[in-house]
Amino acid sequence: MNNIEESNFSYIKNIFESISNEYDFMNDLMTFNNHSKWKKEIVKIAIDSSPKKILDIATGTGDIAIKLSKIKGAIIDAIDVSDNMLKIAHNKINKLNIDNINLKTCEAENLVFDDNHFDIISIGYGVRNFTNLNKGLSESYRVLKKNGKLIILETSIPENPIIKFLYTLITTIYIPLIAFLFSRKAKAYIYLLNSTKKFPPKNKFLEILNRIGFKKIETRKKLYGASTIYIASK
Ligand SMILES: C[S@@+](CC[C@H](N)C(=O)[O-])C[C@H]1O[C@@H](n2cnc3c(N)ncnc32)[C@H](O)[C@@H]1O
């Protein structure tokens, strides 16, 4: 990592360390409770490949990993850079008596797994936080088996002008307000919103995935384009 990457990385890591306690609650409010439905869709897509080895990158409080753990015979490695987020994931997994998830502190840009190892990789609301998007996605490509699938759920900006206007109102008034009222960490949530604006638009992101080597890329718009599921094969 160079100095700029290093300081961005520390900044992003600290944001998530600071909001871990209320992250799940805020996520429900921010997505009008839709994120859980979209995460279940990730599991449905994954099941089609009868996966045995799954990696959930940027697992946070473990929401997606926990849903994936229901796939029969699958072992899930779940990684994140924030120890506080992982602590919450750990408590949830223990409470539910789940024994097929391995949590690890690890960066998406430096995965500690062998080449061609996983059948499925999932990344929920994680890629836009990567310090180095190309490196993070290239690492996913490296550890994915041939024909394995990368499933990404990420925020996006709606294209329809009316929906975009409503989206702008929600993101500039509603989200900072609830962030202030419920977490007093509006600054952290403003970072999350700004990271959405800085994330490459759909076509550019598809180009990046293509350049890295991913094929057969499919996109599924969610909530009029406020989130998108990307499915890409190696
Ligand atoms: C918005 S949360 C998403 C959590 C969860 N996947 C979900 O869908 O609810 C983003 C997570 O990405 C993690 N993260 C940020 N940069 C990362 C990186 N470079 N490598 C791995 N995890 C990262 C953060 O610590 C945080 O837990």
Q: What is the pLDDT of residue 182?
A: 76
Rounded Cα distance, 72 and 68, in Å: 9
CA-nearest residue, atom 1 of ligand 1: 125
- Length of the chain, please? 234
Q: What is the pLDDT of residue 5?
A: 72
Residue 206 belongs to a domain: yes
Non-local (6+) Cβ contacts of 10 within 8 A are none
Place 129 in a pLDDT band, splitting at 50, 70 and 90.
very high
pLDDT tens across 46-105, in order?
A: 999 999 999 999 999 999 999 999 999 999 999 999 999 999 999 999 999 999 999 999
pTM over 0.75: yes
Residue 87 belongs to a domain: yes
Mutation pick for ligand 1 pocket among 12, 67, 81 (CB with most ligand atoms within 8 Å): 81
CA dihedral 86, 49, 111, 103 (to 10 degrees): 20
Residue 167 belongs to a domain: no
Expressed in angstroms and rounded, the spacing between residue 218 Cα and the centre of ligand 1 is 22
Does residue 125 register a pLDDT over 80? yes
Residue 177 belongs to a domain: no
Residue 182 belongs to a domain: no
Q: How many CA atoms lie within 13 A of 140 on its CB side?
A: 34
Q: Which one has a higher pLDDT value, 131 or 29?
A: 131
Give a three-class secondary structure readout of 44-100: HHHHCCCCCEEEEECCCCCHHHHHHCCCCCCEEEEEECCHHHHHHHHHHHHHCCCCC
Does residue 30 register a pLDDT over 90? no
Domain that holds residue 60: 3-155+201-233
Q: What is the pLDDT of residue 108?
A: 98
Residue of 76, 234, 207 lying closest to 150 (CA atoms)? 234
- What is the residue type of 121? I
Q: Where are the alpha helices (DSSP H) in the chain?
A: 3-19, 23-30, 35-47, 63-68, 83-95, 133-143, 161-169, 175-183, 186-198, 202-212
Residue 181 belongs to a domain: no
Q: State if residue 155 touches ligand 1 by the CB under 6 angstroms criterion.
A: no
CA 116 to chain centre: 21
Residue 14 belongs to a domain: yes
Q: What is the pLDDT of residue 181?
A: 79
Strands 53-57 and 75-80, by their bridges, are parallel
Q: What is the pLDDT of residue 174?
A: 80
Expressed in angstroms and rounded, the spacing between residue 85 Cα and the centre of ligand 1 is 8
Q: What is the mean pLDDT of residues 211-231?
A: 96
Q: What is the pLDDT of residue 73?
A: 96
Q: What is the pLDDT of residue 90?
A: 98
Place 195 in a pLDDT band, splitting at 50, 70 and 90.
confident
Whether the CB-CB separation of 198 and 204 falls below 8 Å is answered with no
Q: What is the pLDDT of residue 234?
A: 98
Q: State if residue 123 touches ligand 1 by the CB under 6 angstroms criterion.
A: no
Does residue 3 register a pLDDT over 80? no
Residue 83 belongs to a domain: yes
Does residue 184 register a pLDDT over 80? no
The CATH number covering residue 218 comes to 3.40.50.150
Number of domains, the chain: 1
